[in-house]
Amino acid sequence: MKGRKWAALVAVVCWVGCGEGGSLPDNDKAQQPATTTNPDGTVPLPDIPVSPGPDGNKPEPAARQSLWPLTRGTTWTYRISDPTRGTFEKRVEVLGEQTVPETAMKAISVRSTQPHLEELSWQIDMNGVVVRLREEDRKAGALARVTTWSPATVKGISAEQPQGWSYTSDIRELTRNGDGSTEDKDKTYVWSVEAVNDTVTTPAGTFTNAIRLKRARGDKENQERTYWLVPGIGKVKETGERLEELVSYDVKKP
């Protein structure tokens, strides 16, 4: 249902899960909005094959340094240069495994705090690719929107891949806004490794072993993002709608 939007006229929507979850406004005349979960309460996961690493072998997860560390207590601070909001900092913290609200699944909860927005997402590392099951956005402490995907949407890669590696992700995205309205869209993302052992300089230092990963919209033009990921550290730079540069980090050991 591409681009279809409708106002949800819902009765009471109960949001279950960990204490980080929230609730949207009640509306006695509303209908239950569409969901992106299976009848058994699980989130559909993408079919991601186990890909060989740069040397052609499939590295053991315990033996590799992750490009997207999800160890509890890990933190990153980024300097954001936004054409609309100016320059500010974003802090990202891995909270650890939690139950994903409105599901029967567990995933790693990650909190991102900016001056104008707090994002809480639930992520899973599967076959060297990190997927996101749910995201909650809050403004001034109030729940502004919840976004879910079917299947879970790719967030990044955790295992090193050779130059030329690519993966196409077709998803259905459901957004429920704080005013009760919903948006239901189909999207296609194309992920590809543009370079390995790339050199990138940020306020946190110069890194010579970065993987340059691009995310393009397969269904729209001029909506690209590029990420520089460093083994054992994670994302050190991102370009696209705005510029994100790593200022400091504290990656905990597994």
Q: pLDDT digit string (tens) for 137-174?
A: 999 999 999 999 999 999 999 999 999 999 999 999 99
User: Is residue 6 within a helix (H) or strand (E), and if so which, with residue range?
Assistant: strand 4-7
Tell me how far apart the alpha carbons of residues 6 and 184 are, in angstroms, rounded to a whole number.
Answer: 8
Give the pLDDT confidence of 225-240 residue by residue, as tens digits. 999 999 999 999 999 9
CA 10 distance to own-chain centroid: 28
Question: What pLDDT band is residue 30 in, cutting at 50, 70 and 90?
Answer: very low
Q: What is each CA distance from 8 to 3, 16, 28, 138, 147, in whole angstroms?
A: 15, 19, 11, 20, 15
Quick one: pLDDT at residue 3?
42
Q: What global pTM score does this model have?
A: 0.82
In this predicted structure, the answer to whether residue 114 has a pLDDT above a threshold of 70 is yes
Tell me how far apart the alpha carbons of residues 147 and 159 are, in angstroms, rounded to a whole number.
Answer: 26
Higher pLDDT, 58 or 222: 222
**Tell me, what amino acid is at 146?**
V
- Sign, CA dihedral 153-253-117-11, equals positive
Quick one: pLDDT at residue 52?
58
Quick one: pLDDT at residue 34?
58
pLDDT above 90 coverage of the chain, percent: 75
| Through-space distance between the first and last CA atoms of the chain, rounded to whole angstroms | 41
DSSP label at residue 220: S
Cα angle 202-71-94, degrees, rounded to a multiple of 5: 70
Query: Which residue ranges form the domains of the chain, and what is each CATH number?
Result: 4-39+57-250 (2.40.360)
Quick one: pLDDT at residue 228?
98
Question: What pLDDT band is residue 68 in, cutting at 50, 70 and 90?
Answer: very high
Give the pLDDT confidence of 38-62 residue by residue, as tens digits. 999 899 999 887 665 555 565 555 5
Question: Quick one: which of 226, 166, 223, 161 has its CA closest to 200?
Answer: 226
Report the mean per-residue pLDDT for the chain.
Answer: 86
Tell me how far apart the alpha carbons of residues 138 and 160 are, in angstroms, rounded to a whole number.
Answer: 33
Q: Which two tokens stand for residue 210?
A: 């970065």
Quick one: pLDDT at residue 254?
86
In this predicted structure, the answer to whether residue 8 has a pLDDT above a threshold of 50 is no
Quick one: pLDDT at residue 5?
38
Quick one: pLDDT at residue 36?
81
Q: Which two tokens stand for residue 253?
A: 């050991």
Tell me how far apart the alpha carbons of residues 110 and 251 are, in angstroms, rounded to a whole number.
Answer: 13
Quick one: pLDDT at residue 31?
42
Tell me how far apart the alpha carbons of residues 100 and 98 are, in angstroms, rounded to a whole number.
Answer: 6
DSSP label at residue 62: G
